[in-house]
Amino acid sequence: MSGFGIYVHWPYCAAICPYCDFNVYRARGASNEPLLAAIEADLAGHAARFGQRNAESLFLGGGTPSLLRGEEVARLIEAARRSFGLTADCEITIEANPEDAALFAEQAAAGVNRFSVGAQAFDNAALKALGRHHDAASGLRAVEAAVATGQRVSLDLIYAREGQSAEAWRAELEAAFKLPIEHVSLYQLTIEPQTAFARRVSRGQLTPPDQEEAATLYELTQDVCAAAGFNAYEISNHARSDAARAQHNLIYWRSGDWIGVGPGAHGRVSHDGVRVAIEAQRRPSDYIDAVNAHGVGWVSEARLTGEEAADELLIMGLRTHEGVQRERFEQARGRAISDQAIAWLLEEGFITYASGRLRLTQRGRIVANTIAAELAA
C-alpha cells in the first residue's frame, strides 16, 4: 500500500521570501474565519466526492501554518478527522517558522505530533540574503522549543547559496547534527521563475553556484549526513531511523493518494479505476467563493492517462532510496521500459537494478530528472 494522506495549504506568511514560488500571500491581519470555514467545508466535499478513508498523515503546509493559534490548528485537525478519519498513529505535521516558536506548545497540545522547523540557515549573513526575518540564535531556540513539546522534530536548511563554501556548509551541517533532531530536509537553492531571486539573477545581482559547485556541495551533504547517522532515504531528506522518516512525503514519493485542500493545493486520488488530479483555486478569495458556491474549492479535476500516472510514479519514486518497482511502472504505463536504456544507465553508473527495482546511485541522483526522462522515452 502507498498510503493516504491529507494536505492542508495555509497560504499566508508574515513576509514573502525572495526564493519562494509557492502559492503564498502576505498576512495582513484579516480574520482567519472565512478560510478556516472553507477548508472545513472542502474536506467534507472531498469526502462526499471520493468516499471516506482513514488518513495516515495530515500535513499543514504553506505558507506559514505556524501562524495559526492552537485552537485553529485543533479545528483543522478535527475537520479532517470528522470528514475522513485519522488512523491512531496518524502523523500530523506543521511547517513552522522560528518566529512562531511561542505557539509551538499550544500547537502540540492541539494535536500536532511533528514539527518541520524552517530554520533554512544557521548563518546570519545567509539568513539576511535569503530574506528571512529571524537570526541564527532564533533558529536554534525554535528547534529547542519544538523539542520541548515532546513531539518529532525535523529541520529544513537551504544550501548552494551564493558564495557558500564547502567548509562553511560542512560546519553548518555539523552544528545542526548536534541538535536533538531526528530528521533533516536539505534543499539546494533553486532559482525559480517569477521569484525575486530570478529577477536578481537576470540583472546580474545574484550569482548562485554553478552546476559543478552545486554537485560538490550535494556530495559533501551526503557524506556529512551519513557520518552523523542520518540516512538518505530521498534525494533531499535524511533520517536517523525509519520511524523518523516523513510519512506524508513518502505518500507523495510512492504515488499514494492524498487530498489537497486550501488555496492552490493539489491532490491525487485513485477513483473508479483511474488516478484523478485535483487543483484548488489559487487566490484565497476565489477558493472561498468556490467552496461556498459548489461545496469544494477546486478549479480542475482531471483523469490522468496511464502514461501520465506512470511518469509521475517514475519521477517521484526515483527520488527515494527504495526506487521504483519496474513492474508497477510498466503496468501503469502499458508498455515496457527499454532494456537498452537500463543497460546504458547501469554501465554509466547512474542506476542499480536488483529484485525488480530501479534505484539511482549517488551519481544518478544529481541528474535524477534526466534519468527519468531516459527511462520513460
Average pLDDT rounded to a whole number, residues 128-152: 97
DSSP conformational letter for 217: H
What 3-state class would DSSP assign to 298? strand
User: Per-domain residue ranges for the chain?
Assistant: 4-251, 307-376
Q: Read off the pLDDT of residues 265-275 as tens digits, 9 standing for 90 and up.
A: 999 999 999 99
Q: What is the pLDDT of residue 2?
A: 79
CA distance 140 to 319: 29
Average pLDDT rounded to a whole number, residues 70-85: 98
Q: If you average pLDDT over every residue of the chain, what do you get?
A: 96
Average pLDDT rounded to a whole number, residues 165-172: 96
Average pLDDT rounded to a whole number, residues 238-262: 97
DSSP conformational letter for 100: G
Asked: is 4-251 a CATH 3.20.20.70 domain? The reply is yes
* pLDDT of 282 above 90: yes
CATH of domain 307-376: 1.10.10.920
What 3-state class would DSSP assign to 22? coil
Amino acid at position 275, single letter: R
Residue reference for cell 548563518:
123
Burial (CB < 10 A; 0-12, 13-18, 19+), residue 187, is: middle
Whether the pTM exceeds 0.85: the reply is yes
Average pLDDT rounded to a whole number, residues 302-316: 95
Q: What is the pLDDT of residue 177?
A: 96
- 304's CB contacts (< 8 A; 6+ apart) are 274, 275, 276, 277, 312
Q: What is the pLDDT of residue 359?
A: 97
Q: How confident is the model at residue 252 (pLDDT cuts 50, 70, 90)?
A: very high
Q: What is the pLDDT of residue 192?
A: 94
Cell, residue 102? 511561542
* pLDDT of 161 above 80: yes
CA distance 61 to 50: 22
Q: What is the pLDDT of residue 377?
A: 85
* pLDDT of 1 above 80: no
Hey, do 4-251 and 307-376 end up sharing a CATH topology, with the first three levels equal?
Answer: no
Residue reference for cell 485537525:
77
Contact 200, 192 (CB under 8 A): no
